[in-house]
């Protein structure tokens, strides 16, 4: 029997913990890992903004190669844009099972703090303006668009530890942490 092709889209604002979750998945399963920021960092570690276009082209070239090879893989996204909708359609037409893990924080200031701490440890820089803009877009896009496009989704809060908040398929979901869930929905609906 042929193994199911799987993609995990690990999503959330900058600094939310996407790479931490991705690394855990990589330990558990044999998957390829694709991250545009990591590609940009490999090209130019001192200024990834200068090479975003080049990194994006490499990202999508590898993305298409994984699909052609029928590889299972993980990608990361802030979901702050709409470009991923097209690629979800491509994945569906190639019979991938699409699982989205969305990680969220209490507010954009925490995201910004975590990005600054990452930079101190040698990680890539993202401007405060971009962190703030992406934070709010990411939440709205996840809730209003992306969770409705994938096969299944999980919603995870990252405070001191990762806490499962809800999981579902499109609009059918189970809430596992009512307080965190309501707080998130209040922010999204503001």
**Helix or strand (DSSP H, E) at 26:** helix 18-28
Contact 96, 149 (CB under 8 A): no
Of 103, 114, 107, the residue nearest 183 (C-alpha): 107
Indicate the pTM of the whole model. 0.91
The answer to whether the beta carbons of residues 84 and 90 sit under 8 Å apart is no
Note the pLDDT of residue 126. Answer: 81
115-143 pLDDT, tens digit each? 899 888 877 778 889 889 999 999 999 99
Which residue in the block uniquely carries the two structure tokens 């590889």?
71
- Kindly state the average pLDDT of the residues 7-21: 93
Strand-pair partners of 101:
10, 154
Q: Give me the percent of the chain exceeding a pLDDT of 70.
A: 98
Let me know: does 103 contact 22? Beta carbons within 8 Å: no
44-86 per-position pLDDT tens digit: 887 777 888 899 899 999 999 999 999 999 999 999 888 899 9
Across the range 161-172, mean pLDDT stands at 94
Domains with residue ranges and CATH for the chain = 6-188 (3.40.50.300)
Task: Please state, in angstroms and rounded to a whole number, the distance separating the CA atoms of residues 10 and 171.
Answer: 19
Q: How confident is the model at residue 164 (pLDDT cuts 50, 70, 90)?
A: very high
Mean pLDDT for the chain?
Answer: 91
Average pLDDT over residues 156-169: 94
């Amino acid at each position: 029997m042929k193994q199911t092709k799987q993609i995990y889209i690990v999503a959330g604002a900058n600094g939310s913990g996407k790479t931490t979750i991705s690394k855990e998945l990589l330990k558990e399963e044999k998957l390829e890992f694709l991250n545009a920021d990591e590609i940009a960092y490999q090209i130019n570690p001192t200024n990834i903004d200068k090479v975003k276009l080049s990194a994006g082209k490499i990202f999508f070239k590898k993305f298409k190669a994984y699909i052609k090879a029928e590889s299972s893989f993980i990608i990361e996204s802030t979901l702050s844009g709409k470009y991923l909708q097209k690629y979800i359609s491509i994945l569906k037409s190639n019979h991938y099972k699409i699982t989205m893990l969305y990680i969220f924080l209490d507010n954009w200031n925490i995201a910004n703090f975590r990005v600054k701490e990452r930079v101190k440890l040698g990680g890539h820089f993202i401007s405060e303006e971009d962190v703030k803009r992406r934070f709010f877009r990411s939440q709205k896009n996840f809730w209003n668009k992306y969770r409705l496009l994938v096969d299944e989704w999980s919603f995870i809060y990252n405070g001191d530890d990762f806490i499962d908040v809800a999981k579902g398929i499109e609009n059918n979901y189970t809430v596992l942490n009512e307080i965190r869930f309501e707080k998130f929905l209040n922010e999204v609906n503001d």
